Chain A
Amino acid sequence: MKRLAGLLLFAYCILTVTVVFAEPIKLVYWHYFTDRDAVLKKIAADFEKQTGIQVDVQNYGPPEAYDRRLNAATRGKALPDLITITLNINNYAAYVRGGHFLDLTPYMDKEWRSSIPENYLRGFTFTADDLSVYGVKKAGLYGLPVDANCMAIFYNTKLWEKAGLKGTPKTWDEFLSAGRKLRAAGIDPFVAHFYGQQWENHTFWMNYAFAYLGTKGFTDLAFGRVKFSDPRVVKSFKIFADMRDAKLFINGITGGILGEDIFPQNKVAMWWFGSWEIGVWKQTAPNFQDFDVFYPPKPADATNPCLLPGGPGAAITVNANGKNTEAAVKFVKYLTSKAPQLLYAESSQNIPVNLNARKEMKAGSKLAKFVPWMGSLFYGQYQNPTLWGEMLSKINIEIQSIIMGEKTPEQVCKFLDEEYERIDIRFNGPKEGRQ
């Protein structure tokens, strides 16, 4: 009996010592969102209260510097437990190939899965079909979005009124006509970041490429099964010539004019940009309220819907080689659940990724206007080969050639066909020798 009591006492002491002196689980979370650092820290603190798991939220913005840090940390095997990634997993194929990101599939229960739009999950999944395209060894879900966004055309309601415009354009001709009216009223109609290698160049074109080609046609274009000289693709580039001829572009648009500088100052009527800017204005121009948004109108001869760029914004993934992967997954689940998502959306003015949280957004708010369009995004609706990234760099440059009047859409498409051929041979070898 004495021996048993002694044994129990010993076990109790061991347990007490273990509990008292055990290190609490501490996760490290890297991100690059200066505007969202505070709310992420608040969510991490709430999570700690509920679970006892500490999350050290570390901001390594801006994004360019963050990308370099991530790359270096991967090579040095020094990744944190929780890692911010963006857009879709295709951009991180190299990390997945190297076994650095955790496959979240086994952790996603039915309820968690159904709270996030299916196409977003698709965007972070490597399917069995993708394996050969991206050289990934194992199919799976390698990340989850934490917020969402959508691009649209912002317009300045004051300038709109000044030009005598009522309502927003629904067709391409109405859009061009609105631009002409604005120009006649002495107002610069349209600005976008159509310079350098800015992604706004090709994303604006992609709206219309989808409208003319449809999602399957666009995938075929990306894989070289449809030529750029196809009349439908030529038409998708013609929209830039139409806008140029209607004098819609602000003077010097290809020279790096920043919409974020001039749009809130009432110096241009329309700006092609994303929903996240509403959150940015909350900090940089809190009094600017004279704006609204509209869906880009499509030309009458485009037979498919005009699809918008957008989808998941910031995303998170778990370090597959971390010490506390279970706890890290727990945090990801918490971050993407309804209450933290509402807090995140309210604070950052970004669209929540959680569908239940979206339903509870304030009706009538500018941000809520984007929500119905979230079903018309081209995100996750097409596939592209590895060479597509380099093609987009070429497309960015060629769009500027059209805007400057140096090339016609036909010349641009002919050139892009030649470039595609050249890049394809480099990536995949001579066509005649291929299987």
Chain B
Amino acid sequence: MLKRQWKHREIMYLFFVLPALIFFGVFVIYPFIKNFLITFYSWDGINEMKFVGLEQYKKALFQSPDFWKPIKNAAFLALMGITVQNGLALLLAWIVDKELKGARFYRVIFFIPPMLSFVVIGFLWKWILEPNQGILNIFLKNIGLGKWALAWLGLRETALPTVAMVNIWASFGWGFVMFLAALQGIERDIYEAARIDGANNFQEFWKITFPLLLPIITSVSILTILGAMQQFDLIYVMTGGGPAGATEVPVNQMYMQAFQNGMWGYATTLGVLLGVILFLISIFQLQIKKWLVDW
């Protein structure tokens, strides 16, 4: 009797989750599988698809710079994100957590850039960095550093680092908020005990704060890498992938292949390959997190 009642309940539960399951299946699982299948076809986005097997994977991985060059650029953005962006976010969160005067004000200020869209940020910085009338170069010239007044987005050497700096400016607020929340979750008693034992600020940070923050550092790092590797709007607005392809990133390349060259199958292949790379990076980072926590 009880068993029958339980079975009945199970069916009822299934009915409760069914709408969500259907929604998830139709809008997530099906497009995911369909997307993967398209990579085996040459497709102009409108007409019938032509089966080409692994041809597009071969082209992307071994025959053309369309994939690896943008991946290299995106990897640079990710590297800058993990080191400079997250380092800055952690440092600022740590300072604000020290009950600094006006901490609330800084909390708001640091969180303003992430509230803006990348398109707005792109135009704003493009205006600031304009080589002839931009306020950065005018400022540099006025303080006697005219030699440093470069065409920041127009030179191969400076374009990608400049975009990376703007990306950092636009994104560090997310890490800041997450680090601050984690810092505030650490029991103050631990610090008091450490102080009684004679620990200085650096030791407190290195022996208490950092180990306790490791899980959140890993999560923020994964999000930073995912965000940087999928950057598009900022590059599209600021450089369009130039000069001479110096700032091309994977999503930018996909957009061009799909919408400019009408090669939807190939663009989808680039997307799947990027997805695989991001998946592997995330697995690797989670393994590192596990290893660090065990250690």
Contact = CB atoms under 8 A, between A and B. Distances in A.
A325 interface: no
B97 interface: no
Contacts of B44: 94
Interface in B53-97: 59, 63-64
Interface stretch (B129-137, B169-177, B209-217): B129-137
Interface stretch (A30-38, A226-234, A253-261, A356-364): A253-261
Interface string B145-170: 00000011111100100000000000
A68 B239 CA distance: 22
Given A251-B131, A397-B244, A397-B245, A195 B259 contact: no
B46 A404 contact: no
B271 interface: no
A195 B154 contact: yes
A255 B242 contact: yes
A389 interface: yes
Given A195-B154, A251-B131, A426-B59, A94 B262 contact: yes
A98 interface: yes
Most A Cβ at <10 Å: residue of B153, B154, B155, B263: B154
Nearest to B158: A255
A252 B153 contact: yes
B227 interface: no
A406 interface: yes
Interface in A182-230: 188, 195-198
Contacts of B159: 255
B134 to A, nearest CB: 9
Residue of A64, A196, A404 contacting most chain B CB atoms (<10 Å): A196
A257 B63 CA distance: 33
Contact of B126 (A67, A198, A256): A256
Nearest to B129: A255
Contacts of B152: 252, 255
Contact of A404 (B59, B63, B132, B156): B156
A68 B130 contact: no
B155 A255 contact: yes
Nearest to B132: A251
Contact of B260 (A197, A253, A406): A197
A59 interface: no
Contacts, number: 107
A406 B156 contact: yes
Interface residues of B, number: 34
B259 A404 contact: no
A162 interface: no
B244 A400 contact: yes
Contacts of B245: 397
A22 to B, nearest CB: 35
B243 A400 contact: yes
Given A195-B242, A406-B244, A422-B63, A255 B45 contact: no
Contacts of B64: 422
Interface residues of A, number: 37
A364 B151 CA distance: 39
Given A67-B259, A196-B239, A393-B256, A256 B153 contact: yes
Given A196-B239, A250-B132, A255 B154 contact: yes
Contacts of A393: 256, 260-261
Contact of A256 (B238, B260, B261, B263): B238
A254 B155 CA distance: 7
Contacts of A195: 154, 239-240, 242-243
B265 interface: no
A75 interface: yes
A390 interface: yes
B46 to A, nearest CB: 4
B250 interface: no
A267 B244 contact: no
A97 B46 contact: yes
A90 B47 CA distance: 15
A398 B244 contact: yes
Contacts of B239: 195-196, 255-256
Contacts of A94: 44-47, 262
A294 to B, nearest CB: 23
Contacts of A400: 242-244
A254 B238 contact: no
A254 B44 CA distance: 31
B242 A196 contact: yes
Contacts of B153: 252, 255-256
A426 B66 CA distance: 14
Contacts of A404: 154-156, 243-244
A75 B261 contact: no
Interface string B248-264: 00000000100111110
A74 interface: yes
Interface string A82-124: 0000000000001101101000000000000000000000000
Interface string A230-250: 000000000000000000001
B133 A397 contact: no
Contacts of A253: 154
B164 to A, nearest CB: 15
Contacts of A71: 45-46
Greatest chain B CB density within 10 A among A253, A256, A257, A398 is at A256
Listed from nearest, the 3 A-B pairs whose CB atoms lie closest are A196-B240, A255-B154, A252-B151
Given A254-B154, A256-B126, A256-B240, 14 more contacts: A95-B46, A195-B154, A195-B242, A251-B151, A252-B152, A255-B129, A255-B131, A256-B153, A257-B132, A389-B261, A397-B242, A400-B244, A401-B244, A422-B64
22 contacts: A68-B259, A71-B45, A94-B45, A94-B46, A95-B46, A195-B242, A195-B243, A196-B242, A250-B132, A252-B131, A252-B152, A253-B154, A254-B242, A254-B244, A255-B155, A255-B239, A257-B131, A262-B133, A400-B243, A404-B156, A404-B243, A422-B64
Interface of B: 44-47, 59, 63-64, 126, 129-133, 151-156, 159, 238-245, 256, 259-263
